[in-house]
Structure 1
Amino acid sequence: MASVTYILFVSSVVQAQEQANIEKLGVERVNPADVKAAEDIADQILTKMAEGSYYEFKEGEAIPEIVQLFTKDTQKQAYQQIKAQVGEYLSSLEFQEAYSLSQGGMEATIFRFKGDFSKSEPEVRVVLDRDDKLAGLRVLPWTDQL
């Protein structure tokens, strides 16, 4: 699977990784509560999409750009792409690793999960900002490096 499936990834800082300061976090530096928060929101979004529905953000759960761009139509279109490439979401994410990200005053944590889909096990990448708000969500082919 050579193509990349994007659900939504707002921050140009995160997309331009070569310009950002990204550091892999050791297990001792990863807060289990943050992993759970990242896993939960990704699972809730993917589950809603798999059900043919869409995810509605609660107040303060995501950065404004995500809330604005992550519309019902966007979610439906994104899930059709995901389904075509990696299959149906089977409600399982397995945490793999985390990275700190900083650039130009933005600080965030990137969480990498292996997703359980009917055709493969892609990466589900979740980005939470310093306030634990969703700043990015992406489904793409698994590679061993970020």
Structure 2
Amino acid sequence: MTQFLPIIEELADAADHAARARWLLEVPLAVIIRDQVAIQRLLSAAGFHEGLGYFAAEIAALSATRGRDGLAPNTIRMTREGLAYFAAEIAALSATRGRDGLAPSTIRMTREYARIGIQIIARGGSEGEKHAAAG
């Protein structure tokens, strides 16, 4: 028995990146927010960089000031949705190509997509800031 709750223990026991990706896509968002430190440590220890990118996008979306439409800014939503797609691809590719059998282009595209999204947010290009300035 470890210090983790059973749902976090599932991530700790994940055999490969595909299992980690499936876990990230299926776990309740409340668990991601509540246990973000433990999840970040487990993903980092496993060297699952793509999962860390998706995880950071989820945290950003859950923590963002929402616009008048009640949604996170477009830049955050786009980054989150794109990284969710790549997490699903990681799970699918690993299942068909064997353990962590990722195509290098998938990894590069995921990192590049995350980097672009973070740069846009860092430059203040998020819609939330534009709405705040206009309001």
TM-score bin, normalised by smaller chain? under 0.3
Higher strand share: 1
Higher share of residues assigned helix: 2
TM-score, length-normalised on structure 1? 0.24
Structure of higher CA gyration radius: 2
Higher RCO (Cα < 8 Å, 6 or more apart): 1
